[in-house]
Amino acid sequence: MTQLTQLIVQGISTGAIYGLVALGLVLSYKATEVLNFAQGDIVMLSAFLGWGFIVGAGLPFWPSLVIVVAITAALSFLLEAKIMRRIVGRPQFAGVMLTIGIGFMIRGAVSMFFGPESRSYTTPWTGQSIQLTGGVVAELNLVIIGTAMGVTALLYVFLRRTALGVAVHATSQNQLAAYLCGVRVKRLNSIVWAISGAIAALCGLLLAPITLVDLGLWFVMLKALAALVLGGFGSAPGAVIGGLLIGLLEQFAGVYLSDGVKDVTPYLVLIAVLMLYPRGILGESHGRRV
């Protein structure tokens, strides 16, 4: 029972990170119809920036978090405004290749500036644990779960209860119609990318203390993609649900299945969903008459 509790909490906390990264992908995709493959590299960049401010500059965790979130949000805003906007009207394949290229550039810049070595930093919850239903659970895992719930709730209120959120919905449905109704579509797309970048920063800062600050953190993008497909491509609630399921499956596979299965579990799920149920859990079916 103790091991089961620990596995469930660890799986939910890891899956919450996958779900948040997938949620950022959904937001940027709805705004510009481009799947941002550089999202994982922004997660990795935020982890290195967090280490630079906390360890290198000696700043406390909370000021460092605010600074890193602001930097990554500004970077994502500029990426959309100065680079992605130039390929508007081009095939979606062009946007995918461009974001992959941007990701490689971010990875190379981080490697040159910080170096390829793995490192770590402390948080207010490092080394802290509590008793939960007979098991010992790290406080950082609970903080990650709480953060994911808070971000999801804030995004729901933002998209459903604010004028800017309604404009995001309108733009995702029809950009031309939204523009004719007075929505500043270009500026709105940049703002949505900035929000996506801020979410990526939170993911990087909370994930790095568990997995170390490493260039390999960008791989979280691939697991988030599996969560996105499992939950239903383009569905924000589905992205969160898919992330939680991927995290749980990954944890249980690491304990009860053979060595190495844990690392490939998200990709096996991705392939299975694409073959058996491509629309995902909450995805919408689309048909085209030929």
Cα torsion through 10, 193, 227, 105, rounded to 10 = -90
d(CA 217, CA 213) in angstroms, rounded, equals 7
CB 122 within 8 A of CB 54: yes
Q: Which of 209, 161, 234 is nearest to 64 (CA)?
A: 209
> Please, which residues bridge with residue 137 across strands?
130
Distances, alpha carbon 179 to alpha carbons 26, 31, 32, 91, 173, in Å: 21, 13, 14, 21, 12
Chain centroid to CA 191: how far? Answer: 16
> pTM for the whole thing?
0.91
d(CA 52, CA 120) in angstroms, rounded, equals 10
Q: Which of 164, 192, 146 is nearest to 24 (CA)?
A: 192
Q: What is the pLDDT of residue 39?
A: 94
Q: What is the pLDDT of residue 31?
A: 80
Spans of the chain below 50 pLDDT:
287-290
Neighbours of 275 (CB within 10 A): 8
Q: Which of 99, 106, 73 is nearest to 84 (CA)?
A: 99
Q: What is the pLDDT of residue 260?
A: 78
Q: What is the pLDDT of residue 1?
A: 58
Q: What are phi and psi of 213, to 5 degrees?
A: -80, 110
Q: What is the pLDDT of residue 290?
A: 35
Domains in the chain and their CATH numbers?
A: 2-276 (1.10.3470)
Q: Which of 246, 182, 195 is nearest to 23 (CA)?
A: 195
Q: What is the pLDDT of residue 285?
A: 58
